Structure 1
Amino acid sequence: MKYELPRRMLGMKLPGDSTVAAGEYDVPTPGHGQVLLKMKAASICGSDLKYIYHEHTDKTGGARYDNVICGHEPSGQVVAVGEGVLDFKEGDRVTVYHIQGCGYCDECRKGYFINCPNPERRAYGWQRDGAMGEYMVADAATCIHLPEFLTYEDGAMIACGFGTAYQGLLRAEVSGRDNVLVMGLGPVGQATVILAKALGARVIGVDLSEERAEMAKKVGADAVFTGADALPEIMEFTGGKGVEVAIDCSGSAAGRHKCLEAARMWGRVTFLGEQGTVSFEPSPLLLHKNLSLLGSWVTSMANMENLVDLLDRKKIHPSQIITHRFNLEDADEAFRVFATGKTGKVCINME
């Protein structure tokens, strides 16, 4: 039975000034190589707050538009299929990689659409209509089938935050041999804790927020410290040696510096947290310890598909880090609550 589509839909836009603007829009039609999704879940990312919700700024290279439906963490069901789409049909459940690139540059050919340098690169909710509408057109090349075990909320978590965390762990080659320090326990930090545990590591979490520290304990961290200087506790926990891997999810100078301090000889340090700065003395903190210092930004289509398989195989629900849920009509309140910095993940449900 063919899905009956309405003509109009509710959608949310971010004009800036910490405002969410609700509007009524035409339900879009998928073009060649595209599918139309009935949105089921869309979560809010910290980058939405920093770069769109509060003000339209650009510190990473791409314009942010205030005239597109917001949200770049989509999960939904295919309700219409455009010409040329072979791998998806009506009724399929999907999560969506949140950027489509040009398709022909070196990075796109690797599946790292995030790194595409060309003008065709467009992110859902940033340069094209995104997840916080009742319907969304998605390029089939950015869609990934969602296994039955994983919910639509899980799919929204995977679309950006969990994919970003997974890529950072892959960059550091985390395994069961490692003590892993996660600095900063916001949503990406919580995802990093969960996935590091899934890869077999022993995990230490650090954050100044008691609420986020408690959440990290619930999702599996082996130790959590909340002091401004957690280095003595980290060293004691690791027998004085430090950690094999330190992942900074805080984006703060203090957090990044502490990761370098806490890493043991020949350790690996990955910077995931966006923006901010850091200043350190290379000789004692990097060179003499023979550290590998790595940067990591989002993930690739292939690694996101591998992440979906891992979560399905390990029976892990990413949605466990959701602390607040809202209907689409209440998106303004959802953004306000998430902006307090005291929540886990905040999700908009449209089932």
Structure 2
Amino acid sequence: MDMMLAAYLPGNSTVDLREVPVPQPGIGQVLIRMRASGICGSDIHYIYHKHLGDDPRTSYQGVIAGHEPAGEVVERGPGCRHFKPGDRVAVYHISGCGFCRNCRKGFQISCDDPLRAAYGWQRDGGHAAYLIADERDLVHLPDSLSFKDGCFISCGVGTAYEAVLRGNVSGSDAVVVVGLGPVGMAALMLAKGRGARTLVGVDVQPERVETARRLGLLEHGFVAGPETLAALNDVTRGGASVTIDCSGNPRGRVLALQATRTWGRCVYIGETGAVQFDVSDDLLHRQRTIYGSWVTSVHNMDQCCDDLDAWGLHPHDIITDSFGIAEAAEAYALMAGGRSGKVVIEFTD
């Protein structure tokens, strides 16, 4: 029996490597030779440090980790008709029932069926040489995009893309992104692709602001402080038409809202925590709209790949570090430090 090395997360800020059998695809499933598997901030917050929650439908169930997979189809099970061996794919990381209203819209992330299962959370994910995926969860990866692009698209970039869509970013817009981790940098990249006329970023870490500037993702970058709101209003001439909070921080969320111009759109995609603001002054009297957005749809992930191809943009530019599967512990420790860009695990022949 062929064996492979796989990474599991015991929940105590360590990685457990195990030898497991190479799986075989069943009906409607494909076997994917993994090429790149990303580490997401949610892996760190919800699994790596401590397993949070006890609901088997939403919490980590001790499976092979990694919910940002990309690779090549090498074998397909009975009933597969749309993908074939050799196809380059990313994997939409939640497998839904396919029949509820959310699944029919392509938003399996919001599937309410008890059998909903996320790769790397409730079913085996991408931190191993091979992955079994349902054919319906696959997204074609254009030849112009790398496998590292693909794994990032599977969650982080897809999440940022949905925020840009919810904000309806166009060439008329000044865009402010608060929180310049990997998702925040992706949001700036995608807003640039959509033609935003002014791109502004804010973070508490000077290194991240400088990285975003070096990558050409922003025109104005600020380290968060008491004068940040005034500086944002100055460079956007009274407020941004679209703001996106990727920080998940209470002060970051308020800053994003207050930096939104009258009649502007503010999108929240940063996870966890709370926010408190003055409803009249910060929202109602300024005619602002707040959107809450969680991941994206399969359709929009397909479109994200097509757009990146057309724009000639590569999310892999945001990836700062790559590791082999045997070095998964080092990869997770680096990502957990919060000062790197995107971190991925790569697989080579």
Question: Same fold judged by TM-score > 0.5?
Answer: yes
1:1-351 → structure 2 map (5 Å cutoff)? 7-58=2-53, 62-201=57-196, 202-219=198-215, 220-229=217-226, 230-239=228-237, 241-351=238-348
**1:107-163: CA deviation from partner (whole Å, max 9, x where unpaired):** 000100000011110000000000001100001101011111111111011000000
SS in 1 for 2:15: strand
Letter in 1 for 2:157: F
Q: Shift of the alpha carbon at 1:64?
A: 2.3
Provide Cα deviations, 1:178-216, integer angstroms capped at 9, x if missing partner: 001100000100000100111111210000111110111
The AA in structure 1 aligned to 2:251 is A
Any conservation in 1 of the 2:62–2:121 contact (CA below 8 Å)?
no
Distance in 1 between the 2:296 and 2:336 partners? 25
Aligned residues: 345
If the length of structure 1 is used for normalisation, what is the TM-score? 0.96
**Counterpart-to-counterpart distance in 1, 2:105 and 2:187:** 23
Moved more, 318-327 or 59-68: 59-68
Letter matched to residue 236 of structure 1 = D
Conserved? CA contact 1:14–1:66, under 8 Å:
no
Distance (Å, rounded) in 1 between the aligned partners of 2:163 and 2:126 = 25
| Structure 2 Cα separation of the partners of residues 60 and 257 of structure 1 | 31
Q: Spell out structure 1 runs of 4+ moving beyond 4 A.
A: none
Distance 1:212 1:110, change over 3 A: same
Q: Secondary structure at the match of 2:231?
A: helix
Aligned-partner Cα distance in 2 for 1:287–1:185: 28
Separation in 2 of the partners of 1:279 and 1:16?
A: 31
AA aligned opposite 1:238: T
Unaligned runs of 5+ in 2: none
Unaligned runs of 5+ in 1: 1-5
The more displaced of 49-58 and 226-235 is 226-235
Given residue 206 of structure 2, which amino acid in structure 1 is its aligned partner? Answer: E
Q: Partner letter of residue 229 of structure 2?
A: L
TM-score w.r.t. the length of structure 2 is: 0.97
Distance 2:114 2:133 in 1: 18
CA contact (8 A) 2:57 2:115 kept: no
**What SS class does the counterpart of residue 177 from structure 1 fall into?**
coil
- The Cα of 1:66 is off from its aligned counterpart by 4.5
Structure 1 residue 235: Cα displacement: 1.2
Query: In 2, distance between residues paired with 1:58 and 1:161?
Result: 22
1:301 alignment partner AA: V
Deviation at 1:31, TM superposition (A): 0.7
Query: What SS does structure 1 have at the residue aligned with 2:339?
Result: coil
Q: Which amino acid aligns with 1:194?
A: M
Offset, 1:232: 1.4
What is the RMSD of the two structures over their aligned residues, measured on CA atoms? 1.2
Q: Secondary structure at the match of 1:16?
A: coil
Following superposition, the deviation at residue 59 of structure 1 comes to 9.0
- For the Cα contact (< 8 Å) 1:56–1:66, is it kept in 2? no
Contact in 2 for aligned 1:43/1:346 (Cα 8 Å): yes
Between the aligned partners of 1:112 and 1:11, the Cα distance in structure 2 is 28
> Given that residues 148 and 344 in structure 2 are in contact (C-alpha distance below 8 angstroms), is that contact kept between their aligned partners in structure 1?
yes
CA drift of 1:63 comes to 3.6
Mapped to 2, the partners of 1:147 and 1:334 lie a distance apart of: 27
Q: 3-state DSSP class of the match of 2:213?
A: helix
| SS in structure 2 of the partner of residue 42 of structure 1 | strand
Distance 1:60 1:289, change over 3 A: farther
Question: What one-letter code is carried by the residue in structure 2 that aligns with 1:218?
Answer: R
Q: Deviations over 1:64-106 (max 9, x none)?
A: 2342100000001111101111111111110010001011100
| 1:77 counterpart letter in structure 2 | E
